[in-house]
């Protein structure tokens, strides 16, 4: 924010994975000029279908985005902007209002699981685990580690009943959608995309399931 202030930049926060996260007791979504939250069902605060929200303290921005989600219209059938139909359905909003009451509890459970993983995963083939600053509030939408030979690691875990996912396999500059960026060489980014793997994480996991993930990860050895 200091840099943005110095150069007069807008800061837009991607809060899709950070519901309730905070730095210096200040929540994600309240730092920048605006924050975009995803309420996709799998997110920490998820609706029963696709949904999202924007936070801002800027009244003019609020007025514009409120119209943009509604055909660019403030007044029925008058289109001030070229907008889209992206309103938050009222049924989804009602669900989210109820689920919001459970967010802090579910976040605590996510943190507890992450702490257990951090303390108990012990395998030299796991190159990196998430860094946790205990003074800050990381909400662990995902628990992402890095491993060298990911395909083999993933196959081993799968064979032992532990499903993993990769967030995300292809870096933005290597996506087909961005041929104009394809020439870039970003070795650190590309290495991360080759090595990341997300272990099971969610507030409904039992202690037994969490311990079993650790046991399987720790038993992984390099295979031919
Ligand atoms: C970091 C991040 N940004 C943006 C998005 C997009 O959210 P949505 O699917 O609600 O548009 C996601 C969800 O996949 C995400 O994880």
Minimum CA distance residue for ligand 1 atom 8: 38
CA 90 to centroid of ligand 1, rounded, Å? 21
Instruction: Report H helices in 54-174.
Output: 59-68, 90-100, 103-120, 150-159
Q: Which atom of ligand 1 is nearest to the CA of 167?
A: 16
Asked whether the predicted pLDDT for residue 86 surpasses 80, the reply is yes
Whether 185 and 121 have beta carbons less than 8 Å apart is answered as no
Establish whether residue 12 lines the binding site of ligand 1, counting it when its CB lies within 6 angstroms of any ligand atom.
Answer: no
Establish whether residue 16 lines the binding site of ligand 1, counting it when its CB lies within 6 angstroms of any ligand atom.
Answer: yes
Q: What is the spatial distance between Cα 67 and Cα 77, in angstroms, rounded to a whole number?
A: 12
Q: Which atom of ligand 1 is nearest to the CA of 141?
A: 16
Minimum CA distance residue for ligand 1 atom 12: 16
**What predicted TM-score, i.e. pTM, was given to this entire model?**
0.93
CA 148 to centroid of ligand 1, rounded, Å? 26
Residue 132: predicted pLDDT: 84
Asked whether the predicted pLDDT for residue 224 surpasses 70, the reply is no
Q: Which tokens hold the place of 44?
A: 């920490």
Q: Which tokens hold the place of 92?
A: 């989804």
CA dihedral 114, 51, 100, 103 (to 10 degrees): 0
Q: What is the pLDDT of residues 139-185, one digit of tens each?
A: 999 999 999 999 999 999 999 999 999 999 999 999 999 999 999 99
Which H or E run includes 157?
A: helix 150-159
Q: Which tokens hold the place of 152?
A: 């083999």
Q: Which atom of ligand 1 is nearest to the CA of 50?
A: 10
């Amino acid at each position: 924010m200091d840099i943005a202030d110095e150069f007069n930049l807008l800061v837009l926060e991607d809060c899709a994975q950070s519901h309730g996260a905070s730095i210096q007791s200040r929540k994600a979504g309240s730092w920048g000029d605006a924050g975009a939250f995803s309420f996709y069902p799998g997110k920490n605060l998820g609706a029963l279908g696709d949904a999202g929200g924007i936070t801002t303290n800027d009244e003019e921005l609020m007025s514009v985005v409120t119209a943009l989600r509604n055909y660019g219209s403030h007044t029925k059938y008058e289109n001030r902007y070229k907008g889209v139909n992206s309103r938050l359905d009222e049924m989804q909003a009602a669900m989210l209002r109820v689920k919001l009451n459970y967010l802090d509890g579910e976040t605590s459970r996510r943190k507890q699981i992450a702490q257990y993983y951090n303390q108990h995963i012990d395998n030299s083939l796991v190159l990196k685990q998430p860094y946790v600053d205990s003074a800050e509030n990381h909400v662990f939408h995902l628990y992402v580690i890095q491993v060298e030979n990911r395909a083999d690691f993933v196959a081993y875990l799968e064979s032992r009943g532990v499903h993993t996912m990769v967030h995300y396999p292809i870096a933005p500059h290597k996506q087909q959608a961005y041929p104009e960026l394809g020439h870039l060489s970003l070795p650190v980014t590309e290495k991360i995309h080759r090595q990341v793997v997300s272990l099971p994480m969610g507030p409904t996991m039992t202690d037994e399931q969490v311990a079993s993930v650790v046991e399987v990860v720790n038993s992984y050895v390099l295979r031919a």
